[in-house]
Amino acid sequence: MSVTCEQTRVLMRPSGLHAYDLPLNPRVFAILMALLEGAAHGYGLKQAVEKRSNGRVQLDPGSLYRSIARMVDNGWIEPVDAPGDPDDDTRRRYYGLTDLGRRVARAEADRLRSLLDHASEAELLGEG
Amino acid sequence: MRARRNCWAKAEVSRRRRAYRVALRLFPESIRHTYGREMEDVAAQAWREAGRRGRVSKALLTLRIGRDLIVNGLGARWEEGGGMGQGFQDLRHALRGLRRRPGFTVVAVATLGLGIGGNTAIFSMVDAAFFDPLPYPDDDRLVVPYNVPAPDQGRGFAAFSSPLFAAMRDQGVFAALAEMAPQPLNLGGSDRPERVTAARVNAGFFDVAGVPPFLGRGFTAAEATLGGPDVAVISHGLWERRFAADPGAVGRSIVLNDRSTVVVGVMPPDFELIFARVEVWIPTRTDEGAFTLTSAQNNNRILVGRLAPDRSLPATESLLGSVSARVRERFPGALSDAHEIHLVPLREHLYGDARSNLTLLLGAVGLVLLIACANLANLLLVRGESRRSELGIRAALGASRFRLLRILLTESLVLAALGAASGLALAQGLLRLAGPYAPSSLPTPVIGLDASVIGFTSAVAIVTGLFFGLVPALRGTGGNVREALAGAGRGSVSRHRWSLGSGLVVLEVALTVVLLVGSGLLIGSLYRIQSVDPGFGTDDRTVLPLALSASAYPDAASLNAFYRDMLEQLEATPGVTAVGLGQFLPLNGASNWGYEVEGQPDRGVGFADYTLITPGYLEAMGQRVVRGRALTWDDAREGAPEVILVSESMAAELWPDADAIGQRINIDTEGRVWREVVGIVSDVRNRALTREPGAIMYFPPVLLPMSIPRGMSTVIHHADAAPPVAELRAIVGSLDSTVPVARAGSLSDIAAASESRRHFILLLMGLFAGTALLLAAVGLYGVVSYSFSLRSREIGLRMAIGARRSSVLGMVLGQSGRMVGVGLVAGLAIAAVSTRVLDSLLFETAAVDPVIYAAVALFLTVVAALATWIPARRAARVDPASVLRGA
């Protein structure tokens, strides 16, 4: 697999990620999170994200595939073979997380955690 | 049954899928190609699911998916295009392209600038009249009462008598009610006495305006009564002039009409209410116990009310219903039985008349903008045609249609922005230039970059840019690429493009005709007005306003002594041929008074304009004594027999069958004093040049019921050159150095000022029509030369096989003749219908005046022929050999 420009930039940093890419768009982050559980097709992603966020994040086809297209271009996700589910429509394309994608998701999660730590230190959030 | 419903649902889903597929074109090709099918599937599945939840959620989903497509489709295109970076690239590209063709750019920017500039200038005025808040808190609560003698006879006038004002005030229906009467005052106390514009106002005046004084305070009720102290509030300008802006000015004194007066307040800069340029406000001194019938008939003050917080205008108006009856009861005969008081919002009082004129101008200038747009569309169309090869190459190299459209639209938006910038500059210039000519009845906008004017200009510019950019852009990129490449620069004919261009020319010609007819009608009216004989001479007559204070000249005898001395000295000045004083000069604000005629009790009370005049006045004005005699100084003597002169029209109206000389008229409402008519004076147009001469009464300067006039105008008839004002001032100063001599004007200035609004509108209409004509001529020239440059091959062929030069010329002229002819006929028809809006501005000119219509048609034809002649000659000079070689 050829190394894209984005990858080079990310790989060159010890932290694994260039600050330029963060914070992630909440939709993109939600898709990465959903893919942590395994490859999924477009509609499955939509359902997973909407369910997990209690409907707060909505993925209509346009925004869903605009995000997917971009993530594929960035090398964060890639089309994969359908898991051998015989019921499934063979026409559907499945997407899986790449190693880079996993690191991007982790970097974002780290960023969010440090934000939350700050908030706790400032006693913005109640104990427990 | 169930199967059938299923079938239905499937059909619906596939219908939606089809629609979705079409809408997917919003996305860039790259995404659509890879993911389009999947997106369709996801959408279909979402619909199926929503369908199970019911109709409402299906409809909501459809809305959401539509929004999703637009936002993300265009967003993805934007990203694909490189985001902002691409925009800058387009911009640079557009600027480079425009710089490469300076001729096109200059014409395009100038065309747009003219349209947008005119629009902005007129819009600033419209803005001032319609939208700008008046400078008073809660300005929409301010109303001007109108005195309506008989509701079926017009809207009345905004002047009230003291007793009527007192009755309204006592009714207590307003939050505050101001009364104000203009009164010129002499401001003394320095080397050079000044004449200042002042207003007598009550204490309520300051409550109505709601504007706190800059320094000090307004008047108290105790100050604004009979016998109150001499106090004054002065303007910011006077404070700077007289007190050098000293903050301690309040409490110090100025001399007003020889009385020492304490300054209690200074108003903020630019403060005014109804009366402009007032520099001093002094309290009213009404003796309400001494009201007489005369005071009830003397409508000499204007009122402004502030509506009570919880009361609407109609409610307030109806509560004033009983006021007329109360005044009538106290002063029988003072008001008619039908008398009513109406309330008019202050803004409408100030600008009501101007609004229709402004709307007219806005309409006219809107047509100019439309013509400018049509012209630009034409220019871009021609340019687009010549760029087809360039666009073809770009398309061949892979530029999408969207990208090409973006380049072309950027170009027109850049043009629009440049046009708007030059238009804004032009508007500033136009307003500054036209400002001095603007009649005071039109609001003069504060010339500056007002946010709403900038907003308007930008909106016009953007809409214009899109409008004229889109049509040629769509056409320019619509063609087949290969065809464009193949046909590039070969001089082939593009039929529909041609007809779009000529359609635009027809539109331009038609709109230009409408503007030309409008201006023509106004010019016709002005010409007729200027040839009206006003009844007095306007040339070589200097006017010197003059006012004598009541303390130095308490009675008619002392006034007349001064007048007489002054007139004698002025008459002795070299070059002066006649001189006299008059109270109200014609066309300069008339005043009327009631009278009754001896022996004609059935006639009741009539009303006529009046003026006090000294001997010499009629000669100085160039008026004749038709019968009887003029007034003499002896008539002005106290105790002299009461005499009067009347105008010819008045004599003919009152005594059609008898000699007017020797008849008697009474003008006193308390007790009768019969005044004998001793002379009949030739008619003058007193109210307006457009109004027939009417009844005028001329009195000697003696004590009359309407009081001795303190303000008189000296009319000096002189030979060629007017005597210098300094000389006149020296003469007056030698008699009494405390009398201020104001700037001198001339009678012709006064006559011209009375028609200033019509002049101003004509000036602007003429400007617009001229611009329109220029634009239309340029458009015609462009289309003709363009269409024949495209047909040069055909013409060359024709000439090669023997067509004569004259027949080619005829072909070109015939083609332009058809366009102009259609435009002309359409324009004349539109004009015939639409110029009725000019009716109120026309004088002795029908809205459908055949002479003017014919003149416009002829004029336009000549201009069109000129605009066609140049390209036509060029077409006929085509060298067939070179054309065919180049093919």
The answer to whether residue A65 neighbours chain B at the CB level (below 8 Å) is: yes
Residue length of chain B: 887
SS3 content of chain A, % helix, strand, coil (to 5): 55, 10, 40
Contact B607, B592 (CB under 8 A): yes
Please tell me which residue of chain B has the smallest CA distance to A47.
B46
With beta carbons under 8 A apart, name residues in chain A contacting B65: 60-62
State the angle between helix axes of B346-386 and B401-434 in degrees (0 to 180), rounded to the nearest 10: 140
Centroid of chain to Cα B840: 14
Alpha-carbon distance of A60 to B68, in angstroms, equals 6
Contacts of A82 (CB under 8 A, 6+ apart): A41, A88, A90, A92, A93, A94
| Contact by Cβ (8 Å): B688, B754 | yes
B336–A contact, CB cutoff 8 A: no
Instruction: Look at residue B165 and give its three-state secondary structure.
Output: helix
Residue at token pair 């649902």: B9
Closest residue in chain A to residue B35, using alpha carbons only: A65
Q: Is 50 exceeded by the pLDDT of residue B635?
A: yes
The pLDDT value recorded for residue A5 is 40
What pLDDT is recorded for position B143? 94
Q: Pairing mode, if any, of strands B745-746 and B541-547?
A: antiparallel
Report in angstroms the alpha-carbon separations of B587 from B156, B157, B591, B753, B755: 20, 18, 11, 9, 9
Q: Indicate the residue of B37, B41, B75 with minimum beta-carbon distance to A66.
A: B75
Closest CA to B159 of B168, B177, B143, B146: B146
Q: How far is A73 from chain B (nearest CA, A)?
A: 11
CB contact under 8 A, A62 and B69: yes
Choice among A49-58, B192-201, B657-666 with the minimum mean pLDDT: B192-201
Residue B728 corresponds to which tokens in the numbers above?
A: 């006149």
In this structure, the strands spanning B745-746 and B194-201 are: unpaired
pLDDT band at B85 (very low <50, low <70, confident <90, very high): low
The length of chain A is: 128
- The Cα–Cα gap between B120 and B125 comes to 9
- State pLDDT tens for residues B540-567: 898 888 877 777 887 888 888 999 999 9
Q: Which residues of B touch A58 (CB under 8 A)?
A: 64
Closest Cα of chain B to A58: distance in Å?
Answer: 10
What percent of chain B has pLDDT above 90? Answer: 19
The answer to whether the CB of B288 falls within 8 A of the CB of B581 is no
Q: Which two tokens stand for residue B88?
A: 């800058």
Predicted confidence band at A91 (pLDDT cuts at 50, 70, 90)?
A: low
Whose CA is closest to A110, among A25, A27, A23? Answer: A23
**Residue B99 is which amino acid?**
R
What DSSP state is assigned to residue A92?
A: P
Q: Report the chain A residue with the minimal C-alpha distance to residue B65.
A: A60
Domains of chain A: 24-103 (1.10.10.10)
Instruction: Name the least confident of B209-213, B513-517, B814-818.
Output: B814-818
Q: Give Cβ neighbours of residue B165 (< 8 Å, ≥ 6 apart).
A: B177, B179, B301, B303
Q: What is the DSSP letter of A20?
A: G
Say which residue the tokens 């930039």 belong to.
Answer: A9
Average pLDDT estimate for B671-678: 86
Most distant CA pair in chain B, distance: 117
- Classify the C-alpha dihedral B760-B590-B259-B730 as positive or negative: positive
Please tell me the distance from the alpha carbon of residue B36 to that of residue B73, in angstroms, as a whole number: 12
- Name the token pair of A110: 């780290």
Considering only the beta carbons, identify the residue of A41, A65, A92 that sits closest to B39.
A65
Which residues from A are below 8 Å from B73, CB to CB?
A: 62
Closest in B42, B71, B79 to A61, CB measured: B42
CB B788 within 8 A of CB B795: yes
B57 reaches A (C-beta below 8 A): no
Mutate: best of A49, A66, A91, A95, partner B, most B CBs <10 A:
A66
- Average pLDDT of chain A is 78
Distance of residue B305 Cα from the nearest chain A Cα, in angstroms: 57
Order across the sheet with B576-582: list the strands.
Answer: B576-582, B711-718, B541-547, B745-746
The structure tokens listed for B6 are 């299923």
Q: What is the 3-state secondary structure (H, E, C) of B763-799?
A: HHHHHHHHHHHHHHHHHHHHHHHHHHHHCHHHHHHHH
- Bond from prior residue into A23 cis (ω within 30 degrees of 0): yes
- Compute how many other C-beta atoms are within 10 angstroms of the C-beta atom of residue B883: 18
CA distance B204 to B180: 10
Q: Which helix (H) or strand (E) holds A107?
A: helix A99-121
B865, B810 Cβ separation under 8 angstroms: no
- The answer to whether the Cβ–Cβ distance between B45 and A43 falls below 8 Å is yes
More confident residue, B653 or B158: B653
- Give the model confidence (pLDDT) of B601-623 as tens digits: 777 777 788 898 999 999 999 99
Q: How confident is the model over B854-866, as pLDDT tens digits?
A: 999 998 899 888 8
**% of chain B with per-residue pLDDT over 70:** 87
Nearest to B544 by CA among B741, B711, B361: B741
Instruction: Answer whether B572's CB lies under 8 Å from B727's CB.
Output: no
The tokens for B14 are: 């596939």
Q: What is the phi/psi pair of residue B727, to 5°?
A: -65, -45
Q: CB-CB: which of B35, B40, B72 is closest to A63?
A: B72
Q: What is the DSSP letter of B174?
A: E
Chain B nearest-CA distance from A47, in A, is 10
What angle is formed at CA B505 by the lines to CA B502 and CA B511, rounded to 5 degrees?
145
* Confidence (pLDDT) at A88: 56
Q: Number of C-alpha atoms within 13 angstroms, CB side, residue B139?
A: 15
**Pair B219, B213: CB distance under 8 Å:** no
Whether B584 has a pLDDT exceeding 80, the answer reads: yes
Strands B174-188 and B253-256: antiparallel
Contact A42 B38 (CB under 8 A): yes
CA angle B687, B339, B672 (to 5 degrees): 70
Q: How confident is the model at residue A13 (pLDDT cuts 50, 70, 90)?
A: very low
Which is it for the CA torsion B852, B853, B856, B861, positive or negative?
negative
B657 interfaces chain A, CB cutoff of 8 Å: no
CA distance B758 to B357: 10
Q: What is the sign, positive or negative, of the torsion defined by CA atoms of B827, B832, B833, B834?
A: positive
Please list, in sequence order, all residues whose beta carbon lies within 8 angstroms of the beta carbon of residue B770, skipping any fewer than 6 positions away. none
Its sign, for the CA torsion B695, B700, B706, B710, is: positive
**pLDDT higher than 80, residue B160:** yes
Q: What is the dihedral of CA B390, B396, B397, B399, to 10 degrees?
A: 80
Structure tokens at B177: 């009610």
B670 class by beta-carbon count within 10 Å (0-12 exposed, 13-18 middle, 19+ buried):
exposed
- Site of tokens 């009122």: B303
Q: Which two tokens stand for residue B741?
A: 């001599």
pLDDT at residue B488 tops 50 = no
Among residues B771, B856, B873, the alpha carbon closest in space to that of B816 is found at B873
Q: Which residues of B touch A61 (CB under 8 A)?
A: 39-40, 42-43, 46, 65, 68
> CA of B24 to nearest chain A CA: how many angstroms apart?
9
Q: How many CB pairs under 8 A join A and B?
A: 60
Task: Write out pLDDT tens, residues B115-124.
Answer: 888 888 877 7
- At B389 the pLDDT is 66
Closest listed residue to residue B128, CA positions, set B391, B369, B440, B585: B440
User: What whole-number distance in Å separates Cα of residue B878 and Cα of residue B812?
Assistant: 13
CB contacts of A60 in chain B (<8 Å) are 43, 46, 64-65, 68, 72
- Give the A window 82-121 contacts with B, CB below 8 Å: 91-93
Mean pLDDT confidence for B135-139: 85
**pLDDT given for residue A19 in this prediction:** 42
- The SS3 of residue A102 is helix
For an interface test with B, give the residue of A27, A50, A65, A68 to mutate (most B CBs within 10 A): A65
Query: For residue A114, what are the CA distances in angstroms to A121, B80, B685?
Result: 10, 34, 90
Nearest residue on chain B to A44, judged by CA atoms?
A: B42
Contact B760, B438 (CB under 8 A): yes
pLDDT at B596: 84
Residues A35-49 have a mean pLDDT of 90
Distance from CA of A63 to the nearest CA of B (A): 6
